[in-house]
Structure formats: C-alpha cells, structure tokens
Amino acid sequence: MRDNKRENEAENSFISEMGSSDDNGYLTFTLGEEEYAIDILTVQEIRGYDAVTTIANMPDFIKGVVNLRGIIVPIVDMRIKFNLGDVTYNEMTVVIILNVANRVVGMVVDGVSDVISLNESQIKEAPEFGAILDTQYLKGLGVIDDRMLILIDIENLMTSKEMALVEALVE
C-alpha cells in the first residue's frame, strides 16, 4: 500500500539539502507534455494511487476519498480536470498530498519530476493562457536552464469553485 514511502523519504531528504534563503523551493510535476511547479511548502507527501472510495454524483475529476493515516482525504485527478495526459491508474500513478488552506487534498498527476529552487529573477509573468487554466491561478512562468515551468498558485486553485472541493462554493 505504501510502496511510495521510499520515494517520499527521498524527497524529504532532498528538501532538507536545499536551503538558500532567497530562493523558493518548488516541486515540479508533469501533466502530459507540460511541466508544472507548486510551492514545496504546500506539499505534505507523495504517495501512490490506490484504494480510492468513489463518491456518488461528483464531477468526474473528483475520484473519491482515501484513508491517509486515519484521516479522510479527497482525491482529484488533474489529468481529467485539465484534460492532459493519459488517464490510467497503475502502480506508477502518483498522488501529491497537499496541505492547503488547512485542508488535506490529494492530487493525481502524471509524474513528479524534482524539487527545484527559483529566485525572483527566474520567474516571468504569465501570458494569457486561454481556457485550460485561468491566469488567476498562475503565479508565473519559471525558467531554469531551458526548461519552462508553469507555476501554479495551488492554494487558490484548490479552494476555487472550479475544483468543487470546498463547502461554500459547491452547487
């Protein structure tokens, strides 16, 4: 059930190694061909996808709830939400457990790449995107070497009406 523990620990040790004060740490993950990054401090842990209990009459991207050490955590599939990547579930499917706005939420992505640090100068303003992701959920674009990362304001996104995860905004 918790084969991904090792992976999780590896991430944690990585986090503790980086530490320059000006830079912010980001966790990067992929959805289809695109590479995204979120603030590392919002990430609680990374685990595999299993034992999800479906909830009736929910939007299709809300996969259901899982038991995370005694607490009930909803799981959303970002691949379905943003229509990116192949929606398959196997041992390689990765769930990023986020801790945002005093809630714990699991987010399914195609894969977790690495933890990077970006300073202000490496973050460019985000251009208008179009329909997939409203710019209000974007912090900007991170440029590191020749990679381009889409920086998501994950707290804002997860508490948005669009994700249907928070009480007041349902219906």
Partner 1 sequence: MSIDMQQFNAVFFEEVSEHLTNMESLLLDIDVDSPNLEDLNAIFRAAHSIKGGAGIFGFDDMTEVTHILETLLDKLRKEELLLTTEMIDAFLQAGDILAEQKAVHQEGGDTVDESKIKAVCLLLETLSADKITPTTTPETTTFSPHQADKNISFLTSMEEDITALLEELSQLGHLTQSMIVEGEFHKWQIFLTKTSASNEDLIDSISFLAEPESILIEDVITDPAQCFGLFEEADSQETDFGFFDEPDSEEQQGFGLFDDVEEKPVQTKESAFGLFSDEKITPKAVENTKEQDNDPRPYGFLDGREEKEVKNKKTLTVKRTANKASSTGETSIRVNTEKVDQLINQVGELVITQAMLMQISSELDPSEHDVLLNRLTQLERNTRDLQESVMSIRMMPISFVFGRFPRVVRDLSNKLNKKIELKMIGNETELDKGLVEKLADPLTHLIRNSIDHGIEMPEDRIANGKPETGTITLFAFYEGGNVVISISDDGAGLNREKIIEKALERGMELSDTISDSEVYQLIFSAGFSTAEKVTDVSGRGVGMDVVKRNIHSMGGQVDIHSEAGVGSTISIRLPLTLAILDGMSISVAGQIYIIPLTFISESLQPKAEDIKTINGKGKVVKVRGDYIPLLALHELFNIDTEVTQASDGILVLLENNNKKIALLVDQLEGQQQVVLKSLETNFHTVPCISGATIMGDGKVALILDIAGLVSESE
CA separation, residue 70 to residues 45, 48, 56, 66, 73 (Å): 15, 17, 22, 9, 9
Contact between 46 and 79 (Cβ < 8 Å): no
Please, what is the end-to-end C-alpha distance for the chain in angstroms? 34
Write down the least CB distance from residue 74 to partner 1, Å: 4
Write down the least CB distance from residue 66 to partner 1, Å: 6
Instruction: Pinpoint the alpha helices (H) of 42-158.
Output: 78-81, 154-158
Rounded Cα–Cα distance for residues 91 and 32 (Å): 18
Write down the least CB distance from residue 97 to partner 1, Å: 10
Q: Does 87 bind partner 1 (CB under 8 A)?
A: no
In the list 141, 143, 144, 166, the residue contacting partner 1 (rule: CB under 8 A) is 166
Q: Does 131 bind partner 1 (CB under 8 A)?
A: no
Q: Does 89 bind partner 1 (CB under 8 A)?
A: no
Q: Which stretch binds partner 1 (CB under 8 A): 19-27, 30-38, 102-110, 111-119?
A: 102-110
Residue 106: phi, psi to the nearest 5? Answer: -105, 140
Q: Which stretch binds partner 1 (CB under 8 A): 3-11, 65-73, 112-120, 146-154?
A: 65-73
Q: Can you give the binding site for partner 1, defined by CB under 8 A?
A: 1, 51, 53-58, 64-67, 69-74, 103-105, 165-167, 170
